[in-house]
Structure 1
Amino acid sequence: MLKKYISIVTIVCMLVCILPSKSYSMDKDNFIKFLINSSYPEVDNDKKDNNQDNDKDPNKNKDANENTEVLKSNKNEKNKNEYIKVHVGEENIPNIASNYSVEQSKSEYKDDIRVTREKPRLLIYHTHGCETYSNSPEGNYHSRDKKNSVMEVGRLLTDQLTNKGWGVIHTTKYHDYPSYNNSYASSLKTIQNIVSQNNSIDIAIDLHRDARDVSDPKIKEIDHKKYTTTINGERVAKFFLVVGGKNENADQIRKLAHDITKFGQKKYPGLVCEVIEKDYAKFNQFVAKNHMLIEVGNNATSIEESKATTKYIAEILDEYFMQNE
């Protein structure tokens, strides 16, 4: 108590003696800085402490304007100001993400991209992201109604694979809007850019929704029954793989498609349709060693039925690659 009393008396005496002389030479900013330095001597170590914090957690290297109180001054440059950060409580520590953070993007999309783990191995993208399902309010089965489209199926498939331990990149960039004819040229640029920045990727999925002529309600009803099945009491959309025969790696992707189809048909009979081969096309399948063009459901099936299929696709792919590597 005695030491504390002496300290208080000393500070009061210093303020009485020093402040009058200082007040003549200090402007408002310098006076405030003086008070802060007197009250918070730990600010002298602010820069050092801040660097140590950033080394531990790079996500704390943030824009101080969001959660901190700042004052400006600089001892060396008269016209330049120095920020003094005074943190009051854990909630006020700067916490703005850097340009890119895997942790932040595990469940969030930034610039139409989500990355669920470091060194992702699998890429999911959509050359025809505007493909929508039967219950889309737009009614034409091709619109930017994302929540009722193949984009939503891709989002859920990303979740399912991530839950099984896969590192996945999912891009929701539109490639068939505004130009449908340039879809594959557009998606090629996207996937080449992603793969070039993530050399850990060796599996790619171009996720689509099959297109049928369902203008006649009776045909739509027939197609719905034909392209859905029941698994564990749940109605789900069927899916199949497509192979472009003009790729240099056509033999590889053809073998992969047929092997996965057989594996899926054995595991869930009636869920996987036969492989469709189109010798005249590439479908950008040369970009990845293991490329799959997967069609989930069609415009006669609903978004709920197609989303329900994703857990089975994830299970099939996960077990297939685990057993064949």
Structure 2
Amino acid sequence: MVNMKVIKAKNAIMALVIIAFLLMTLIKIILVGKDKIKDLSLIPVIQDTIISASGNSLKEFKSIDRDNTEQILSSELQMSKFIKSDEEQLATENTIQVQNQTQVSTVSEEEPQTGLQTEVVSGGNINAKYTNEYNGVQIKNESKYELTQEMLTPDIELENKKDIIIYHTHTCESYTQSTGFEYTPSGNFRTTDLNFSVVRVGRELKDRLTNYGFNVIHDETYHDYPAYSGSYNRSLTSIKNDLASNPNTQIVIDLHRDAVGEAGTYAPTVKIGDDYVAQIMFVIGTDGGGLTHSQWVQNLKYAIKIVEKGNELYPGLFKPIMVRNSRYNQHVAKAATIMEIGATGNTMDQCLNSMKYLSKVMDEALNK
């Protein structure tokens, strides 16, 4: 005679093994985040399938096992919520870490000397062509406008010379790696590590200008990451917000890195005293592209004023000013410009040197 109790026990054990396996599988799925169980009402359906496969003799275990299963899975699901919450918090912390990495600064309070010997030593001739000139300041006009002498005369009067905003439409632009400035690229001459992108150059400029008594806001918001397309739309939102909080600011700098030349080797460099310094280029937008921009002539006059002083103190520090049809968000302020600091072939230390001399030029041009 067959012992039914033994059979029922074996079947029960088999059912429990299957249930345990199912639970382990579900827990694994929950932990790796590949699936989400949103409805506990599915549990009895799964349970019924397991019980049916184990034989009708386990019906008496059904109610008890279902309750236990629901309790176990409910506990695991609650645990998964905490896990998910921790993962979301970690993701948020990681994002903050990317955007607010430990700032590296090597700014010296020593003011750069003037009267030093200067010499363009590398890559300075690739963009040397120009169409207009004012008192030694060269302008390359690529806009649809004919630049008159009145437009080029730097007779701009700023009501607020102390407040400055620096931001970066192309936040992730970076340079050729060098000793002490190695980084992990996120693209071709691009990195999300702000210690090695143009943001680091912006920090240097901010600190040096602050030493001269300027009040500087430095917006380090990513505008070209994770998407490059639409960068100018996003940076326009940022600079409008910055100006809303600082409505009297007239000097606005969109700080970039130039990208001219093949294979990233273009490195416009000037030697000032013993320093190798990345050259600087102003880019001035107009309304030639159809977008409203009533202040572009004032923007140009401001750039000419700065370069004129730069030519006096450190000849060769500035390349010819570029004037184009695109607006580049420069309609937001009376002295809004793009400043291209070096190019892909330059190194970070050369660009940091550039900020040392640029800040001196700006102080002399605006405060003297």
Q: TM-score range by the shorter chain?
A: 0.5 to 0.7
Is residue 295–residue 333 contact of structure 2 (8 Å, CA) maintained in 1? no
SS of the residue corresponding to residue 241 of structure 1 reads: strand
What's the TM-score once normalised by structure 1's chain length?
0.58
Aligned equivalents of 2:307 and 2:298: distance in 1? 14
Structure 1 residue 197 and structure 2 residue 245: aligned?
Answer: yes
Corresponding residue for 1:149?
Answer: 197
Aligned equivalents of 2:191 and 2:327: distance in 1? 25
Corresponding residue for 2:234?
Answer: 186
Structure 1 residue 303 and structure 2 residue 351: aligned?
Answer: no
Aligned counterpart in structure 2 of residue 243 of structure 1, from 273, 278, 284 = 284
When Rg is computed on C-alpha atoms for both structures, the one with the higher figure is 2
Aligned counterpart in structure 2 of residue 130 of structure 1, from 172, 177, 195 = 172
Corresponding residue for 1:275?
Answer: 321
Shift of 1:257: 1.3
Corresponding residue for 1:255?
Answer: 301
Shift of 1:145: 2.7
Relative contact order, higher structure (CA 8 A, sep 6+): 2
- CA-to-aligned-CA distance 1:80-138 (integer Å, 9 cap, x gap): xxxxxxxxxxxxxxxxxxxxxxxxxxxxx79x9xxxxxx97110000001100011542
Letter in 1 for 2:286: G
Is residue 204–residue 352 contact of structure 2 (8 Å, CA) maintained in 1? yes
Aligned equivalents of 1:122 and 1:157: distance in 2? 11
Is residue 212–residue 300 contact of structure 1 (8 Å, CA) maintained in 2? no
Shift of 1:259: 2.1
Instruction: Point out where structure 2 has 5 or more consecutive residues left out of the alignment.
Output: 1-99, 104-160, 178-182, 288-292
Aligned equivalents of 1:296 and 1:123: distance in 2? 16
Aligned counterpart in structure 2 of residue 233 of structure 1, from 274, 286, 293 = 274
Shift of 1:240: 1.1
Corresponding residue for 1:213?
Answer: 261
Letter in 2 for 1:301: N
Is residue 120–residue 198 contact of structure 1 (8 Å, CA) maintained in 2? no
Instruction: Point out where structure 1 has 5 or more consecutive residues left out of the alignment.
Output: 1-108, 113-118
Structure 1 residue 264 and structure 2 residue 310: aligned?
Answer: yes
Shift of 1:196: 0.8
Letter in 2 for 1:156: E
Shift of 1:143: 2.4
Corresponding residue for 1:73?
Answer: none
Aligned equivalents of 1:270 and 1:289: distance in 2? 26
Q: RMSD of aligned C-alpha atoms?
A: 2.1
Corresponding residue for 1:288?
Answer: 333
Letter in 2 for 1:178: P
What's the TM-score once normalised by structure 2's chain length?
0.52
Give the 5 Å matches for 1:38-117. none
Shift of 1:191: 0.8
Shift of 1:266: 1.8
Give the paired residue count: 200
Shift of 1:202: 1.6
Aligned equivalents of 1:256 and 1:187: distance in 2? 22
Identity %: 37
